[in-house]
Amino acid sequence: MATKIWHVLELLEWTTGYFEKHNIPNPRLDAEVLLGHLLDKSRLQLYLHFDMPVFQNDLTLFRELIKKRVARTPISYLTNRKEFMSLDFYVDERVLIPRPETEFIVETILNSNSDGDQRILEIGTGSGVIATALAVNRPEWEIIATDISSEALTVAKKNRDVHECTERITLLQGDLFEPIKLLDSSSFNWIASNPPYVKTCEHDTLCSDIRDYEPHIALFAGEDGLSIVRSLIAEAPNHLCPEGTLVIEIGDTQADPVRDLLEEQSVYKNIQFIKDYAEIERIVVASVD
């Protein structure tokens, strides 16, 4: 008996139904993204090639991708891609998948009308999206980006180099401010961070796409989720220039305790919170004298 030839449209429809049956949240979108990834076509191109046959080799690979998605592997780890600030980044299971709300950190710094050359420190760079997006948009700035995870830094390096920012971003490994103590100057106009901020007790409440796949070192920060934020707030003044600014992404319910932590330090002024797309205070910005 002749083997059935599958075409793009019926493959999308079959996969969408299969994903629906397994409660995958955006079944049609995920089917399109995965098939587009496999066939190296945009979603628009797939629509223009609905009648295109998909041959056995690709079907075998597609079946593998479907299986992994049903096992809740995040789409970005299957395609190894994530867009951030309109730039294309490589991601894999060594790094957190960048979230849209983190773009507010980059936009805050870019929109600040900072004059002349700026020195920026990013702590916990992960895939390197914040540092790279800043360097692409402001080629004259000097950026140091750190992470405690050497595996994450391998990914950050790949993204930095693909976006031709090799000369402008220095990547350093270590805990919080430790790596910059070896530099000639540890004084910065901006210190930016999207640190881990999930409470350890929230482990079981996270959806499995996150809990079972994203690096725990990128997610969890002690019982109250503030262990890293607390250290950033305490130590940043020692590394900020006069009028320098700290920008940190925080969790859903952390605005009040974070305001208290900043006020306790007495060196911070102009404490502001920026809301995300869900109207949650997501980014805190505070300057020193």
Ligand X SMILES: C[S@@+](CC[C@H](N)C(=O)[O-])C[C@H]1O[C@@H](n2cnc3c(N)ncnc32)[C@H](O)[C@@H]1O
Pseudo-torsion of CA 16, 17, 21, 22, nearest 10°? Answer: -20
SS (H, E, C) 214-273: CCHHHCECCCCCCHHHHHHHHHHHHHEEEEEEEEEECCCCCHHHHHHHHHHHCCEEEEEE
| Minimum distance of ligand X from residue 231's CB (angstroms) | 8
Choice between 58 and 276, CB closer to ligand X: 276
Our measurement of the distance from residue 26's CA atom to the centroid of its chain's CA atoms, rounded to an integer in Å, reads 20
Specify the residue, 39 or 123, whose C-beta has the smaller distance to ligand X: 123
Closer CB to ligand X, 175 or 243, in the complex = 175
CB of 166 to ligand X, least distance (A): 19
Positions touching ligand X (CB under 6 A) are 95-96, 98, 102, 123-127, 129-130, 146-149, 152, 175-176, 194-196, 217-218, 228
Residue placing its CB nearer to ligand X in the complex, 24 or 218: 218
Smallest distance, ligand X to C-beta of residue 213, A: 14
CA 264 from chain centre, in angstroms, equals: 30
Beta bridge partners of 119: 142
Contact 160, 166 (CB under 8 A): yes
Q: How far is the CB of 53 from ligand X (least distance, A)?
A: 39
Q: Distance between CA 73 and CA 16 in Å, rounded? A: 16
Q: Which is nearer to ligand X, 35 or 176 (CB)?
A: 176
Q: How far is the CB of 206 from ligand X (least distance, A)?
A: 13
Q: Would you state the structure tokens that stand for residue 43, as one six-digit string?
A: 């979603």
